[in-house]
């Protein structure tokens, strides 16, 4: 752990959820345009689900929301992403600030397998240059594992390796690790696709419990999951030879119960994709 005096101290309590606003976001890989002017408001303290067939640009859009897209060679983008009204791509904005405020959980649970459960949770602090003393770390580990719905299962074995947990527990450990840097938004890219139904349910419960504390944006192929966990839903589609875009977005109850566009109705009913 770095103790450099310039490093920010770990905040004592969770931050409040923040809004994200994508404005006319387009994206390319080389000359291949994969998103066309996507505009979407992701309200603070709500779960927004991104749904749509494979290849329509959902993951690309998600990566743009915390500046991960720009790490891919030949990747480009246009448009704005407003975090509480401020463009994360504005000149002078630091990549590390976007990453600290906007965390990410990936499809496949990726804890550091040989590192202890405890050290996995605090690992994010080091990566984002935040300093914390032992007591602060102890408190943070308990709090984040509790928020991720894992504390009761691991409280007696915090020194065991993260890799020894089940897949569902590993994913909740990754959520705890992401929460340890106090993000105000959490992006989740198909977080349950590698999990069995019981673990999936547990992670879904965790997402619902977190929602009032951190804004969640989740990509999912599972329509039931989108309906269960989200309040807002955006349906992405890339029609033959065209870049992906949003066909329809709004309250999840409307997208599933009263979609305005026939393509949305067909997709949520499982008639394609």
Ligand X SMILES: Nc1ncnc2c1ncn2[C@@H]1O[C@H](COP(=O)(O)OP(=O)(O)OP(=O)(O)O)[C@@H](O)[C@H]1O
Task: Give the helix/strand (H/E) hosting 217.
Answer: strand 215-219
Q: At what angle do helices 134-147 and 117-127 cross, to 10 degrees?
A: 110
Site residues, ligand X (CB under 6 A): 29, 34, 52, 54-60, 72
**Least gap, CB of 200 to ligand X (angstroms):** 17
> Which residue, chain included where needed, has tokens 């649970």?
109
* Nearer to ligand X among residue 89 and residue 106 (C-beta): 106
* Nearer to ligand X among residue 17 and residue 245 (C-beta): 245
**Least gap, CB of 202 to ligand X (angstroms):** 23
Asked if 224 and 202 touch (Cβ cutoff 8 Å), the reply is: no
* Nearer to ligand X among residue 176 and residue 234 (C-beta): 234
* Nearer to ligand X among residue 118 and residue 267 (C-beta): 267
How many Cβ atoms are within 10 Å of 157's Cβ, its own excluded? 13
CA distance 247 to 266: 12
* Nearer to ligand X among residue 93 and residue 221 (C-beta): 221
**Least gap, CB of 76 to ligand X (angstroms):** 11
Mapping DSSP to helix (H, G, I), strand (E, B) and coil, where does residue 109 land? coil
Give me the numbers of helices (H) and strands (E) for the chain, helices first please.
10, 10
**Least gap, CB of 210 to ligand X (angstroms):** 22
**Least gap, CB of 190 to ligand X (angstroms):** 7
Asked if 115 and 122 touch (Cβ cutoff 8 Å), the reply is: no
Q: Which of 121, 57, 70, 99 is nearest to 185 (CA)?
A: 99
């Amino acid at each position: 752990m770095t103790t450099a005096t310039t490093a920010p101290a770990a905040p004592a309590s969770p931050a409040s959820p923040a809004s994200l606003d994508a404005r006319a976001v387009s994206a390319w890989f080389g000359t291949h345009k994969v998103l066309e002017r996507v505009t979407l408001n992701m309200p603070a303290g709500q779960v927004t689900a991104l749904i749509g067939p494979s290849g329509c640009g959902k993951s690309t859009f998600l990566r743009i929301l915390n500046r991960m897209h720009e790490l891919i060679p030949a990747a480009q983008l246009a448009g704005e992403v407003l975090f509480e009204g401020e463009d994360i791509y504005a000149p002078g904005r630091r990549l590390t600030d976007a990453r600290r405020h906007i965390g990410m959980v990936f499809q496949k649970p990726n804890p550091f397998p040989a590192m202890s459960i405890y050290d996995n949770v605090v690992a994010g602090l080091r990566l984002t240059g935040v300093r914390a003393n032992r007591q602060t770390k102890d408190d943070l580990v308990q709090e984040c594992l509790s928020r991720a719905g894992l504390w009761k299962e691991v409280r007696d074995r915090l020194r065991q390796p993260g890799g020894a947990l089940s897949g569902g527990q590993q994913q909740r450990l990754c959520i705890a690790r992401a929460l340890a840097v106090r993000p105000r938004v959490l992006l989740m890219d198909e977080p349950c696709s590698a999990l069995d139904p019981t673990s999936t349910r547990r992670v879904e419960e965790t997402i619902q419990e977190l929602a009032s504390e951190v804004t969640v944006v989740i990509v999912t192929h599972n329509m039931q999951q989108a309906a269960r966990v989200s309040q807002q839903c955006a349906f992405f589609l890339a029609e033959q030879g065209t870049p992906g875009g949003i066909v329809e977005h709004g309250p999840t109850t409307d997208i599933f119960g009263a979609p305005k566009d026939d393509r949305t109705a067909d997709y949520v009913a499982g008639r394609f994709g």
